[in-house]
Structure 1
Amino acid sequence: MEPKNKEDLPNENVPEVNFDEDDKNNKSRIAIGVLAVLLVASLIYIVFSVKARNDLEEKEQLTQQELVETSARLEAISIELDQKIEEIEKLGGDVEELKLAKEQVEQEKEQLRRSSNVQISRLRQRVQGYETLLKNKDEEIAHLKEVNETLLTENTELKTQQNEMQATLSTLEEDKGKLEEQVAHAARLKAENIRVYAVNKRGKEREGEFKGRQIEKLKMAFGIEENDVAPIEGKDIMVRIIEPEGNVLFDVATGSGTFMVDGKEEFYTAKQEILFDNTRQQLTFLYEKPSEFSPGNYTLEIYTDDYLMGSKNFTVK
């Protein structure tokens, strides 16, 4: 069948459309877009990964620095604790709390040396607690020093008072000793009216100078002065007759003996025991020498206890 007209016939000069080529172009554009998206995503991932790694490294560096600083603070706290313990002990304060803190600090230091896996925030809190404790102890030390200074002042005043009292007591003791010495000296008995007589064979007495051949016996008489200070008590009264040559007339058969004077043993010629009653007692001694008295100056000494009561010189021609 032939076409109705020319217009209904296909135009041989119109080019044909290639649908396969368009599809290929579209696919290429899509692939390029996907690749671009992937590239951008990769870049974003790389950027964030680098940033995250940098942040992690910075955080690790910061944590390590904090650990070093905290370790140094722990070491300083340990040293300061030792100083505070020593200082408070000297001031007489209680150091049990500080010693416990010292043990805990040493445990923290040991744990820090053995492991880096430490909660830095917890450790910082512990360090702050130790530092607060040390600050409080500074206040306690200041208070203890104030108390000790007060006690020192009071102690110094007490020592001053004690020294003053001791000086007063020493003065009183010295005065007492002087007084006792004065009393003892005042209580010494004294002989009065000392007389020496030569008694011949007929019993006649002669005073003054006399010849040796006229002496059968020596009579010595004296009184004891009144003394209200001397106590009423028994006394030994000793007489010593000293020859011109310095020897003491001594004869055990007639009652001679020895006594102590100023720590030295001395001879006495005769002795009597009396009760001193402060009545101005009168005493008489008779001494008969076995042989004739040598001419010269003689001395009669009268003693009681360890002191001299009086003396008298006489001469034998």
Structure 2
Amino acid sequence: MENQNNHSKLKAIIGILAVLLIGSLIYIFKLTSDAKGLEKNVVEIKSEKESVLKDLADLKATYDAAIAENTSMSDELIAERDKVVKLMADLKASKGDNASLQKYRTQYKAMEQKMQNLMQEVEVLKKQNQTLTTSLDSTTVVLEDNKKYNQVLVGQNEELSKTVELGSKLTVSNLKTAAYKQRSSGKQIETDKSSRADLLQIVFTIAENKIAKSGDKTYYVQVIDPKNNVLGEKATVSFGDTSLTYSFTTTVKYENKSVNVKEQLPGKDFAKGTYFVNVFDKGELVSKSSFSLK
């Protein structure tokens, strides 16, 4: 009887152990399944995170390329690209779960849509710029042709101006100088002796010129004696870097017709030898001659 009871107890213990073993196996299986499920979820989350980061990187690259074209929308494109860069930084720093990844994916979709709208605007601007560039190129060609034509005209005008300027210069000719003796009666007698002379008479002609500017014309007359002294006023005037010492000036009212000019230079103790007479129009020598006294 006792053996029978012991056998019953042993069977009961074995049954309990079997139940515990089965429970343990079920628990271990569940834990294993949960671990596998968690590992799979982690892999999927990591993959999704990398996918969103790649999409954001592509979005940034699109903005970079559009910004490099330097359109009038560059500021707006830069602002949107900066938003993409910030979202990428936030995503990289996040621990990552399904809820947060879904949030980032939603933000990416909104940014992608905004990018597509902006790219359409950029394309419209590019086409407008191409049309404008073509128009500008045509205008540039016309302007270049006009510029070349104007340069030719300017050159021709400069040549014409030089020709007119040369043609409008007055010609001084027939410059002659003679010494005279002034008598008490007022009569003047020409002489070639220095001891008798008490004035010099200078005459010259301004030729007719129809294209010259009319009005008062002033000439500077310089008389140099045999000792290289300037006679008369010995005044000095400057024309730019050039200075001129002259004997006297004569002003003529010129009306585009030939004019004879006669001036006298009083003096005394005239030296024997050769005298030189020069006529200047401002700083330019326009006529010269010489004469001698015995």
Tell me which residue corresponds to 1:192. 173
CA distance in 2, matches of 1:93, 1:264: 63
The answer to whether 1:285 aligns with 2:266 is no
- Tell me: CA distance 1:104–1:281, structure 2 relative to 1, closer, same or farther (3 Å): closer
**Which structure has the larger Rg?**
1
CA distance in 2, matches of 1:288, 1:249: 9
Does the CA contact (< 8 Å) of 1:199 and 1:218 recur in 2?
A: yes
1:95-116 deviations in Å (ceiling 9; x for gaps): 4265246326524642662443
Provide structure 1 residue ranges, at least 5 long, that are not aligned to the other structure.
1-23
Which deviates further from its counterpart, 65-74 or 144-153? 144-153
Provide structure 2 residue ranges, at least 5 long, that are not aligned to the other structure.
none
CA RMSD of aligned residues (A): 4.2
Does the CA contact (< 8 Å) of 1:201 and 1:216 recur in 2?
A: yes
The answer to whether 1:219 aligns with 2:208 is no
Find the residue that maps to 2:90 and give its secondary structure: helix
The answer to whether 1:57 aligns with 2:38 is yes
Tell me which residue corresponds to 1:301. 278
CA distance in 2, matches of 1:104, 1:204: 110
Residue 220 of structure 1 deviates from its aligned partner by 1.6
The answer to whether 1:234 aligns with 2:192 is no
Instruction: Write the mapping of 1:109-148 to structure 2, written as runs, cut at 5 A.
Output: 109-110=89-90, 113-119=93-99, 120-131=101-112
Residue 299 of structure 1 deviates from its aligned partner by 1.9
Does the CA contact (< 8 Å) of 1:302 and 1:309 recur in 2?
A: yes
Does the CA contact (< 8 Å) of 2:67 and 2:77 recur in 1?
A: no
Which deviates further from its counterpart, 191-200 or 79-88? 79-88
Instruction: Write the mapping of 1:1-317 to structure 2, written as runs, cut at 5 A.
Output: 42=23, 45=26, 49=30, 52-70=33-51, 72-73=53-54, 76-77=57-58, 79-80=60-61, 83-84=64-65, 86-88=67-69, 90-96=70-76, 99-100=79-80, 102-103=82-83, 106-107=86-87, 109-110=89-90, 113-119=93-99, 120-131=101-112, 155=136, 162=143, 165-166=146-147, 168-202=149-183, 203-206=187-190, 210-250=192-232, 252=233, 257-261=235-239, 263-292=241-270, 294-317=271-294
Does the CA contact (< 8 Å) of 2:194 and 2:269 recur in 1?
A: no
- Tell me: CA distance 1:185–1:54, structure 2 relative to 1, closer, same or farther (3 Å): same
CA distance in 2, matches of 1:77, 1:61: 24
Q: TM-score, normalised by structure 2?
A: 0.72
CA distance in 1, matches of 2:141, 2:211: 39
Residue 226 of structure 1 deviates from its aligned partner by 0.4
Letter in 2 for 1:186: G
Q: TM-score, normalised by structure 1?
A: 0.68
Letter in 2 for 1:248: V
Total equivalences in the alignment: 282
1:71-94 deviations in Å (ceiling 9; x for gaps): 642662575366247425x23324
Letter in 2 for 1:306: G
Letter in 2 for 1:271: T
CA distance in 2, matches of 1:172, 1:247: 50
Letter in 2 for 1:295: K
Q: Percent identity?
A: 17
